[in-house]
Structure 1
Amino acid sequence: MVQLLSSLPTIDFARFGDGSSEEARKIGQQLFTACRDVGFAYLINTGIPQGQVDGMFNWSAKLFALPIETKMKAPHPPEGWKHRGYSGIGREQVSQMVFDTEELKAIRYGKFPDFKESFEIGNESSKRVQNIWIPEDNFPGFRTYAVNFYNICREFQVSKLLPALAIGMDLPFDFFLRYHEDAENQLRLLHYPEAPTDVFESGEKGRIGAHTDFGTATLLFQDDCGGLEVDSPSDPGVFMPVPPVPGTVLFNIGDFLMRWSNDTLKSTLHRVRAPPRKESDNGVTKERFSIPYFMGADRDKTIECLPGCFGPDKPKKYEPINAGEYVEMRLNATY
């Protein structure tokens, strides 16, 4: 079932089952259509319990309320590709497809810093990059809860989401699963602190500028603050609000999958802005929390143009590329 919440399609996974039914095929086709035409969709009945989502937001609020010296017991390493641990305000600056050293420096130290802090969590079993945790004595229970939430998101990814996309593109059920066996994913806890409203209105501070995600795809959980905006598919350059909708998970395509599909699927620009001033705010823009779960292909896999996405009237635009090299290039430009 597809409906519209806001300006985005909403896809209902309630009847997906094991992916073998006609209903599952229709859900896959609806997901593909959303990925092709918009690049974003609301997902409902994913099997990710709302109670677990609420709990993760509670833990996130507790984390960012810790003293800075406690948060810095789990510091993000200097290397961008070691994307784990805590990053303070201004540490990360989005850089949309910019790789020149001087241009990156201008973005990082320019007038409009991204006013946010974050904590990055990956596969707890990874041998390549280990998670960096605040010591248990300083923050008991957080590690266990966060790892469990990561695994819940991963379960939806492999049991329903990637199979549905494969079905919708007339590919074998397990096509995308073969490229995502190592759980090279990232759970990010994001906090945009409160600040005087006039610093956002003047441009002195921003939340996060227009960008696309660079992995396979993203699941996003929002709090009730709002502020997310997506480039309109019908009017490029005009950003439309994407409000939080209780009981949904927001889904979007990343640059890696767009490239893999020869630009058949759409990686759409999006940004986070401070909400408009309200008299009741007393001149202060309230804090915002969000939790994206970024999906990435296995680092050792090399991808070529997806079957069905090229032909005599649609030549291949891109050379084959290794997933690890691609992601590290993008991460190192961000940090």
Structure 2
Amino acid sequence: MADRLVPIISLKDFVNRKEEITKQLVKAAETAGFLTLVDHGITVDEIEKQFAISKSFFDLPAESKGKTPHDSKSNNGWEYKAQLRPSTGTYDQKESLWLQRGSQWPSEEDVPGFRDATKEFMDKCAIISNQVLSCLAIALNFPENYFLTANDPSEPDCLTQLRLIHYPASENTPEGTWRAGSHTDIGILTLLFQREGEDGLEICPGRESHSSFAMGDVFTPLPAHTGPIVVNIGDMLMAWSDDRLKSNFHRVRAKDAGKTPSRYSIAYFNQGRRGFVLQGPQKKYPPMTVGEYFIQSVQRNFARQQAIAA
């Protein structure tokens, strides 16, 4: 089911195959809102190296990780089971480290080589993101480099982030326990790296509007493999495409009851430049800046969270 729902798309020979790749990307983006990339240019060894660096950070004692504290204004830094999901009314059972190029980083003393290796990994993610976004820009009748300008991580107002994620092991987990509640991603495009055998991701197509919380009834597991990149459309790109490209719900759940192993993942969130004006080619929605869109999205989620609590 997952293989049929989420197509595998090769970026091999990208320049010469761009038209073919664009058609494949658009078809996936218009339906599942998810796809899997292979032949993307980041080797398995490079991915495993970044996971090892991530684990080195999460293996630190809490007081060491806390040297890079989470800042609620920038959403950068280390947080531990602090993300409350409106869909479940519970906190996600994970810890994470949010990073931007200009944010505070773990010290060289605590995790040797962390900053240089992670920035190099982020640069590789940006290259892949730009390839996908250039195809989608063409399909939406924008200039080919439109999203490259709107999402340039070298600009100081760019909100793009890397998130290193760790779901701690548990000795007595009820079957189906939420590790991350159902949600969509607010930004433009997400690249997700998983490790072989560390399953739990489930996806659910069926959303029609970027501002609604409607979802389908069936969540489909997407097995974890080291190497392929799971890519999904975010709310912002759904709005930017006049709801043509789908930002669909996904979650992480414990597969079996009892002992649940650790799960690690790495997400690269393309989130645009705060001051860039967002409006789709059909002008279905009024123009607003990326920064304004983020504020409205947070307010929608907060209102929903309050309603659930009541």
TM-based fold match above 0.5:
yes
Output one character per residue of 1:220-258: Cα deviation in whole Å (capped at 9) or x when no partner: 001121000000459921000011234310000000010
SS at the partner of 2:104?
coil
Q: Which consecutive segments of 4 or more residues in structure 1 shift more than 6 A?
A: none
Aligned pair count? 289
- Alignment correspondent of 1:324: 291
Aligned residue type for 1:195: S
Matches within 5 A, 1:230-245: 230-232=203-205, 236-245=216-225
2:63 to 46, 49, 69: 69
Amino acid of the structure 2 residue aligned with 1:196: E
> Where in structure 2 are the equivalents of 1:136-215 lying within 5 Å?
136-158=108-130, 160-181=131-152, 182=155, 183-198=158-173, 200-201=174-175, 206-215=178-187
CA distance in 2, matches of 1:83, 1:50: 29
| Aligned-pair CA distance for 1:6 | 5.5
Query: Corresponding residue for 2:230?
Result: 250
The residue identity in structure 2 corresponding to 1:254 is: G
- Cα offset, 1:176, TM superposition: 1.7
- Please, which moves more after superposition, 170-179 or 144-153? 170-179
Q: Contact 2:189/2:271 (CA < 8 Å) preserved in 1?
A: yes
Please give the TM-score of this superposition, normalised by the length of structure 2: 0.86
CA distance in 1, matches of 2:68, 2:36: 33
Q: Which residue of 1 aligns with 2:49?
A: 55
Structure 2 residue matching 1:27: 3-state secondary structure: helix
On the 8 A contact 1:215/1:255 being kept in 2, the answer is yes
* Corresponding position of 1:275: 255
1:113-160 Cα deviation digits (max 9, x unpaired): 21110001112xxxxxx41222222222111111111111112222x1
- Of 72, 76, 95, the match for 1:84: 76
List runs of 5+ in structure 2 lacking aligned partners. 208-214, 306-310
Structure-to-structure mapping, 1:14-163, within 5 angstroms = 14-17=12-15, 21=16, 23-77=17-71, 79=72, 81-88=73-80, 90-95=81-86, 110=89, 112-123=90-101, 130-158=102-130, 160-163=131-134
Q: Per-residue CA shift, 1:171-225, capped at 9, x if unaligned?
A: 3321222212235311000000011333x4385xx31110000000100001121
Secondary structure at the aligned position of 1:201 is classed as coil
Superposition RMSD in Å = 2.3
